[in-house]
Amino acid sequence: MEADSGIILAGQGVDDYKGVYGTTGEAFAKFGSDRVVDIPNGENAFAGIAVGAASMGLRPLVVHTRDDFMFLAMDGIFNLAAKWRYMYGNKGSAPVVMRGIVGRGWGQGATHSQSLQSLFGHFPGLYVATPASPSDAKGLLVGALRADTPVVLLENRGLYGIEGEADEEAVAIPFGRGRVARSGDDVTVVAASLMVHEAERASDALRSRGIGVEVIDVRSIRPLDERLICESVAKTGRLVVADTSWARYGFSSEVAAVVAENVHDCLRAPVRRVTPPDCPAPVSWPLEEAFHPNAETVARACVEVLGADRNSAPRMRGVMSDFIGPY
């Protein structure tokens, strides 16, 4: 905001003393209500305002404290921002940035805990990213505020407490470039957002059992780093996809399709998807624990994929018989 006077931060509670989980307070302290604007509960209307402002050269950064509220803004996002460049012959764009926060926890329930990356990723004309680390949260936000394309950043509330190094300077991370979070030769786990950390925990646990799990953090859902995913699967021959949203018609299905279309000859076992069950999220601590995938469910899927491979089955029998997740 210091470097670009056109950036305007807006959302419900961005000027509150809590600063949307601590992410907007410093901006309000520095720039005040002229550029950090609290808005009413009118997501659809303000999406249109933000898209219009973006088309006129401003850089609106809109914060949704629950990404579920973005359902009300989808006309502006899908029918205006995403299609702007296509409808007007590439003679302009509406590079609005939308932050949507998702998270679990007692009381979130069916309408306040939905991961929408698959929905947003379906539409051409949008970039969609899911940062899993402090450095990626900063780098992807910097990239979003410099892009000529509208961007949706989906942030998991459970990651705000994670500490890590980030560049002092405003260095952008390119969209469509994933990273290898853990290296391994036996199974590839492709994950996004919170599931990257669960996959890392599973990888660390299985390494002590002699199983090398390679974890791919996609960073962005659209564009997707298909080359990195396929190179990893070509090496390991096995794929598990871990996601915080449902399996059907989703991100995990897309990753499976990319692998099937490009490196199917390398697969030694069926693809496994680790996702929540096909029902809305419950409001109950015990039911939530059963509903959401975690490191143990990722680890079990890796073991099962290895067991399904005839060449690996003898080696895996002992692991499968006594495998008890350490979580």
Q: Which residues are catalytic?
A: 43, 112
By the 8 A CB rule, do 228 and 178 touch? yes
The Cα 128–Cα 159 span in angstroms is 18
- Where are any strands of DSSP class E within the chain? 7-11, 36-38, 59-64, 97-102, 127-129, 151-156, 179-182, 187-191, 213-217, 220-222, 239-242, 272-274
73 residue type, one letter? A
Q: Around Cβ 106, how many Cβ atoms within 10 Å? A: 11
The Cα 47–Cα 42 span in angstroms is 9
Residue 5 in tokens:
């006077």
- 113: Cβ contacts below 8 Å, ≥ 6 apart: 68, 102, 103, 104, 105, 281
Please give the distance of CA 283 from its chain centroid, rounded to a whole number.
Answer: 23
Provide the residue count of the chain. 327
